[in-house]
Amino acid sequence: MDLLNTLVDKGLRRELPTREEALAVLATSDDDLLDVVAAAGKVRRHWFGRRVKLNYLVNLKSGLCPEDCSYCSQRLGSKADILKYTWLKPDEASEAAAAGLAGGAKRVCLVASGRGPTDRDVDRVSETIKAIKDQNEGVEVCACLGLLSDGQAERLREAGADAYNHNLNTSEGTYGDITTTHTYADRVETVQKAHAAGLSACSGLIAGMGETDEDLVDVVYSLRELDPDSVPVNFLIPFEGTPLAKEWNLTPQRCLRILAMVRFVCPDVEVRIAGGREVHLRTMQPLALHLANSIFLGDYLTSEGQAGKADLDMIADAGFEVEGADQVTLPEHRAGEAGGCGSHASAGCGSGADAGCGSGAEAGCGSHEAGGICGTAAVATAGEARTDLVAVRRRGAGTDLAPNA
């Protein structure tokens, strides 16, 4: 296809595709899907080789969020039966992080539900960052705490944070339909504050909330303009007890096309498959590794994910390798640009949802993880509810049970 050849050429040159080209990727047929994956895979391998970065989420404070984000299991008025607990102590958070790091993760994403942190909350998180870094040399830490006030990004950077995650989630035109307690502009401002403070900015989207192709292209082009180092792509987990519980709009093929479009528009950034990959990609997850160069290991904020060992086996079987702590995530031309991230000194930052948050299925702070333990995949049909793949997290942070990593 001439379209794909053009997009590969542009991706290798870091040239922005036209909106029409991006929309055309989303409109390709299932018959052309493998060609689309192969083309976007060339761009992914050019900038990131066959490395896969592993990230691990720690939910510092779960539930009881005053914001009304429709996709979130921790939202105001949510009836989802999730874990609810207040702030983990620094040693508890460090212990939780250790499980993910032992499983191969190089970045820990510290997430807390809520509109945004108080100054005392920033102190708490700063103590947690210190505890984690004191015990794990070279680890990257990304914070995801919601909307930032003036000076808070700088304080997190001084405390040792490498990155900050805050997702745009959806297009500016439809944002008011998803959330009313804060604005799209508020989210953009927080990403800009993180950038200005020298933190590696992480910002992404949630697909599957009933948006149009045009909405998806709008938000990805907005992300390209914001220029984060990391773009997490979340697939909505329609949690029972939330307003979007009936929104089962995705198929594995649709998810792959979305990831390919993101890779073409943002060719040289860390594209992370975040919340919902187990639920919506299912047995097609290995193909997604040809498009994204980063995933979360194990469980998410309020939902269970694929077993950590299964993630590692999947990466190896697909012919990829786990990125080491001594490897720089971002390409050389980006590695020195944002907050020191990407340098060997910071273990090669460049992620961001990295920090889990901002995912798309639950987790406050605009996050939304993925839910569900992988099971037998049914025929991929948009509109078919796969509630059997959505499982509330009952282990790890906030419980007495060992985490999944």
Domain chopping of the chain, boundaries: 2-389
| pLDDT tens-digit readout, 201-235 | 999 999 999 999 999 999 999 999 999 999 999 99
C-alpha closest to that of 362 among 300, 311, 306, 305: 300
Per the listing, tokens 């709008």 go with: 218
Ranges of H-type helices in 49-182: 90-102, 119-135, 152-158, 175-178
Catalytic amino acids? 65, 69, 72, 109, 142, 202, 272
Instruction: Quote the CA–CA distance of 314 and 116 in Å, as a whole number.
Output: 36
Contact indicator for 126, 155 with CB cutoff of 8 Å: yes
Question: In 3-state terms, what secondary structure has residue 190?
Answer: helix
Residue 38 tokens, joined: 């192969």
Question: In 3-state terms, what secondary structure has residue 40?
Answer: helix
* Res 363 pLDDT > 70: no
Query: What percentage of residues in the chain have a pLDDT greater than 90?
Result: 68
- Amino acid letter at 314? M
Instruction: Quote the CA–CA distance of 251 and 191 in Å, as a whole number.
Output: 30
Task: Kindly report the number of other CB atoms within 10 A of residue 383's CB atom.
Answer: 10
Residue 276 tokens, joined: 């919902």
Task: Kindly list the distances between the CA atom of residue 176 and the CA atoms of 69, 103, 169, 192, 241, in Å, as whole numbers in the listed order.
Answer: 10, 39, 12, 21, 20
Contact indicator for 181, 76 with CB cutoff of 8 Å: yes
- The pLDDT mean for the chain works out to 86
Known binding-site residues for [4Fe-4S] cluster equal: 65, 69, 72
Output the CATH code of domain 2-389: 3.20.20.70
Known binding-site residues for [2Fe-2S] cluster equal: 109, 142, 202, 272
- Residues in the chain, how many? 405
Look at residue 167 in the predicted model and tell me its pLDDT: 96
* Res 373 pLDDT > 50: no
Instruction: Quote the CA–CA distance of 105 and 119 in Å, as a whole number.
Output: 29
What single-letter DSSP state applies at residue 237? -
Known binding-site residues equal: 65, 69, 72, 109, 142, 202, 272
For 231-250, give one letter per residue: b (16+ CB within 10 A) or e.
bbbbbbbbbeebbbbebbbb
Look at residue 394 in the predicted model and tell me its pLDDT: 65
| pLDDT tens-digit readout, 174-190 | 999 989 999 999 999 99
